[in-house]
Amino acid sequence: MSGQPAVTGRRTVDVLVVGAGPAGLAAATELAATGAGTVEVVDREQEAGGIPRHCHHGGFGLRDLRRPMSGPAYARHRVREAAAAGAVLRTGVSVTGWAGPLTVETTSPAGLERLEARAVVLATGARERPRSARLVPGSRPSGVYTTGELQQAVHLYGQRVGERAVIVGAGPVARAAVGTLRRAGVRAVALVTEEPGVPVLGRRPSAGRSGAWFTSGALVPVLTGTTVTELLGRGLLTGVALRRHDGRTTVVACDTVVFSGDWIPENELARSAGAGLDAGTRGPAVDAAFRTDRPGVFAVGNVLHGVEPAATAALEGRRAAGHVRDFLVHGRWPVARVPVVAGAALRWAAPNLIGPADTGARMLLRPSERLVRPVVDVVQDGRLLHRGRLVRAAGPERSLTVAARWADRVDGAGGPVIVSAAH
Ligand SMILES: Cc1cc2nc3c(=O)[nH]c(=O)nc-3n(C[C@H](O)[C@H](O)[C@H](O)COP(=O)(O)OP(=O)(O)OC[C@H]3O[C@@H](n4cnc5c(N)ncnc54)[C@H](O)[C@@H]3O)c2cc1C
DSSP 8-state secondary structure symbol assigned to residue 357: G
The H or E element that residue 310 is part of is: helix 310-330
| Structural domain containing residue 377 | 336-423
Task: Name the domain boundary from 261, 287, 317.
Answer: 261
CA–centroid distance, residue 22 to ligand 1 (Å): 7
Q: Are residues 236 and 148 in the same domain?
A: yes
Asked whether 139 and 234 are in contact (CB, 8 A), the reply is: yes
**Residues near ligand 1 (Cβ within 6 A):** 18-24, 42-45, 50-52, 55, 57, 59-60, 94-95, 123-125, 147-148, 151, 173, 176, 266, 269, 301-302, 307-311, 313
pTM to 2 decimals? 0.91
Q: Are residues 118 and 142 in the same domain?
A: no
- Residue 47's pLDDT is 96
Site to substitute for ligand 1 among 17, 40, 42, 51, most atoms within 8 A of C-beta = 51
Sign of the torsion angle spanned by Cα atoms 305, 308, 312, 314: positive
Q: Whose CA is nearest to atom 14 of ligand 1?
A: 309
- Residue 211's pLDDT is 61
Asked whether 147 and 171 are in contact (CB, 8 A), the reply is: no
- Residue 263's pLDDT is 87
- Check which CATH number belongs to the domain holding 225 and give it: 3.50.50.60
How many structural domains is the chain composed of?
A: 3
Q: Are residues 313 and 369 in the same domain?
A: no
CA–centroid distance, residue 21 to ligand 1 (Å): 5
CA–centroid distance, residue 186 to ligand 1 (Å): 25
pLDDT < 50 positions in the chain: 1-2, 200-209
Give the list of residues 6+ apart from residue 97 with CB closer than 8 angstroms, or none.
104, 105, 269, 272
CA–centroid distance, residue 32 to ligand 1 (Å): 21
CA–centroid distance, residue 266 to ligand 1 (Å): 10
Give the list of residues 6+ apart from residue 329 with CB closer than 8 angstroms, or none.
none
- Residue 212's pLDDT is 62
Task: Name the domain boundary from 333, 355, 388.
Answer: 333
Task: Name the domain boundary from 333, 349, 364.
Answer: 333
- Residue 215's pLDDT is 66
Q: Are residues 150 and 292 in the same domain?
A: no
Q: Are residues 306 and 282 in the same domain?
A: yes
Q: Whose CA is nearest to atom 41 of ligand 1?
A: 95
Q: Are residues 248 and 369 in the same domain?
A: no
Q: Whose CA is nearest to atom 30 of ligand 1?
A: 125
- Residue 6's pLDDT is 72
Q: Are residues 254 and 323 in the same domain?
A: no
CA–centroid distance, residue 48 to ligand 1 (Å): 11
Q: Whose CA is nearest to atom 1 of ligand 1?
A: 173
The answer to whether residue 3 sits within a structural domain is no
The answer to whether residue 223 sits within a structural domain is yes
Q: Are residues 118 and 188 in the same domain?
A: no
Task: Tell me the pairing of strands 393-394 and 371-372.
Answer: antiparallel
DSSP 8-state secondary structure symbol assigned to residue 142: B
d(CA 61, CA 306): 19
- Residue 203's pLDDT is 43
User: What is the position in ligand 1's atom list of the atom closest to the CA of 147?
Assistant: 1
CA–centroid distance, residue 400 to ligand 1 (Å): 20
The answer to whether residue 124 sits within a structural domain is yes
User: What is the position in ligand 1's atom list of the atom closest to the CA of 49?
Assistant: 49
